[in-house]
Amino acid sequence: MFTKDFYGVIDAELDLLIQKYQEDKIIKKHKSAINNQKSYVLLIWFLDFYGRISNYADFITDGDNDSSCDIVLDTINNDGNKVFYIVQSKWNNADNAEKETNKDEILKAINDFETILRDEKKIINSKLKEKLSELQLHLKANGEVKFIFLSLSQYKGNADENIESFRNQDIKTKFEVIDINRIRTDYIDRKYKKITPISPLKIHKNPEESPITLEIVQKSGCVKIEKPFEAYMFLLRPKTIWELFNTYSFSLFYKNVRNPLLQSQFNSDIENTAIDNPSYFWYYNNGITAITYELPEIGKRAEKINVIGLQIINGAQTVYAIYRAYEEANNTQRTTMNNQIFVTLRLLQSGGKDFDLNVTRYTNSQNPVQDRDFRANDDVQIALQNESYKTNIWYEKRRDEFREMPKGTKKVSNSLMANIYLAYHLQNPVDVLVNYHQQFNIQKDLNFISHKDNKNGLYEIIFNKNTSYEDMLAGFYVFDILSGENSYSYEDTFKTNIYHLLSLFKTIFTKYLKAKYDDKINVNKYIIKIYEKNEKQIILKTFDFLYQFIKNQIKNINIISQFSIENYQIIFDKIEKIKITIENIE
């Protein structure tokens, strides 16, 4: 979703808020100044989207001659402690939304935040004065505070050093920039993936770093497995699972191949069983599998244990459904649930990344999970997807993760993207076809298998620090033009020579562009530019030249379907040697 298009989505939601709260005195005051209204309702939108806070008037501190502190919010955190959130926002019009956040605006906000911390801010607004007085008492009690700079522009790190310096002044002080790219990612998570994004209005603990206390049920003792790896199996009550998710949220599932859906029939069934038939729950549910960095020793009479580095690798839906059921239950229902519901927890000691990945793979094998699903939480996969959100071609890193798609936007699996990237950008269509035949025979996708696990694994070759979504997108655009009216399924792409043609096209097109411009031309940026402007004719002309060249070299060949690996190598070697002129293509 291009930035200008996403801005339009948010802007439309702001318009609805202006209409909804038209009787608000500040909205009425700025009736003739739409920019002032938009700036104000952006704060309302922010509180509702991230905090589910509808009583916005209690926290927005805008007032006459006081515009440097927009939200002061105090909440009770997951650990029971109060945290203050101080928000300054910068509303931008559509033109500025695509520009980089002004560094001076962030520095001004930091300076204002420092003034607040020193209790030196001159205040006219009575509401802000009252809130900041509460903040000073909170700070004196060793309380935590988080400052947020909210902007509808693109932050690219130009003030990182200043932000880090501000953070280092006090361990109890946090700072975060929420820009339009972050908002877009979170918006897509909620609306199109149906999962809850991590809220900046909440201090999140990392379960991989924090010691976690679990209350276990010892009615019949826990089972300990000694060999070949130590593990425990015991029971948990709903209250313990609720507390666990309430504290750590979706970060519990970082190593899980699936995140729980906000809404699904499966989740509803679990919730209904927990409320309506709690005594049946254990019989109907497979339980949870988790890993920890170090297994504790558990005595026979222990009712509480401490674990470090907890990650739930199977059973995310169970955890989330129990959390929702317990969250919405009344006190009587909660008592019944805790008396009658038991959930099996298998706790394994982490054996390192490879062991943990294999445990995740096999514990999820009862459902159809592909090799690419096990890579969905890798940093490189997350980064590629986040970059794709700035375009209308979204990178699907996990099957079926997008429950809806906005109009004009298309999802493309990382399986197809990996093949296109390997053939087009890395100029290796042969391995694409070898991978397919290997996959067909043993059901392994080498694009998502490490060379450590299989000598033919391609994962690190395709996905590494040099992999960029821009290079993938350029290849996909050429693939899309080459496909034309054909709507190939993933399997059907291997029945054509499309991957060979992608590789040959790039070689010819690169030579053409260098002849027309110079050696510094960025071929992929150029392809993206002309495709998105719908100026694709030069790409089609290049393919015309390529087809004619192939026919001249190999007589009586069907270019689309009769193109062997040997023929590809012959053509590739000849194209490498020839000089391409502007006239050849144009």
The pLDDT value given to residue 253: 79
3-state secondary structure 563-586: CCHHHHHHHHHHHHHCCCCHHHHC
Tokens of 358: 């294999």
| Phi, then psi, of 143 in degrees rounded to 5 | -80, 165
Identify the burial level of 80 via C-beta atoms within 10 angstroms of its C-beta, where 0-12 means exposed, 13-18 middle and 19 or more buried: exposed
Q: Is 216 helix (H, G, I), strand (E, B) or coil?
A: strand
Separation CA 42–CA 37 (nearest Å) = 9
- Per-residue 3-state assignment (H helix, E strand, C coil) for 425-443: HCCCHHHHHHHHHHHHHHC
3-state SS assignment for residue 112: helix
Q: Using the structure block, give the residue that is written with the tokens 């002849």.
A: 515
Q: Of all helices (H) and strands (E), which one includes residue 344?
A: strand 343-349
Report the percentage of the chain scoring pLDDT > 70: 88
**Distant-in-sequence, close-in-space partners of 3: CB < 8 Å, separation ≥ 6:** 97, 98, 154, 180, 181, 184, 390
User: What are the two backbone dihedrals, phi and then psi, of residue 142, each rounded to the nearest 5 degrees?
Assistant: 65, 35
Concatenate the DSSP letters of all residues of 268-305 into one string.
HHHHHHHHH-GGGHHHH---EEEEESBPPP--TT--EE
CB of 357 within 8 A of CB of 300?
Answer: no
Chain centroid to CA 545: 41
Q: How far apart are CA 205 and CA 213, in angstroms?
A: 14
The CA radius of gyration of the chain, in Å to the nearest whole number, is: 28
Q: Which residues of the chain have pLDDT under 50?
A: 67, 261-262, 265, 365-367
pLDDT tens by residue, 44-63 = 999 999 988 888 888 888 75
Give the Cα separation of 494 and 488 in Å (integer): 10
Q: Using one digit for the tens of pLDDT, what is the confidence trace for 97-153?
A: 999 999 999 999 999 999 889 888 777 678 888 888 999 999 999 999 999 999 999
The pLDDT value given to residue 366 = 47
| Closest C-alpha to 424, from 496, 510, 486 | 510
In contact, 99 and 160? CB cutoff 8 Å = no
The rounded distance, in Å, linking the Cα atoms of 6 and 154 is: 12
Residue with tokens 């399924």: 489
Alpha carbon dihedral 388, 390, 391, 396, in 10-degree steps, equals 30
Q: Which of 130, 125, 163 is nearest to 147 (CA)?
A: 163
Q: Round to whole Å and give the CA distance between 515 and 292.
A: 58
Please tell me the distance from the alpha carbon of residue 223 to that of residue 234, in angstroms, as a whole number. Answer: 6
- Calculated CA dihedral for residues 566, 572, 578, 579, nearest 10 degrees: 160
Give the separation between CA 215 and CA 196, rounded to whole angstroms. 26
pLDDT tens per residue, range 539-582:
999 999 998 888 887 776 665 555 667 778 888 888 888 899 99
Beta strand 410-413 with 393-396: parallel, antiparallel or unpaired? parallel
- pLDDT for the residue numbered 354: 64
Q: Could you give all domains of the chain from N- to C-terminal order, each with its CATH number? A: 3-193 (3.40.91), 211-369 (no CATH), 374-585 (no CATH)
pLDDT at site 369: 64
3-state secondary structure of 412: strand
DSSP lists the bridge partners of residue 85 as 73, 146
Q: How far apart are the first and last CA of the chain?
A: 33
Q: Indicate the length of the chain as a whole number.
A: 586
* Token couple for 399: 């099957």
CA distance 87 to 51: 13
Q: So what's the pLDDT on residue 128?
A: 85
If we measure between CA atoms, which residue out of 448, 449, 446 comes closest to residue 433?
446
Show the CA angle centred on residue 373, arms to residues 231 and 371, nearest 5°: 85
CA distances for 370 relative to 282, 318, 376, 416, 439, angstroms: 28, 21, 10, 14, 11
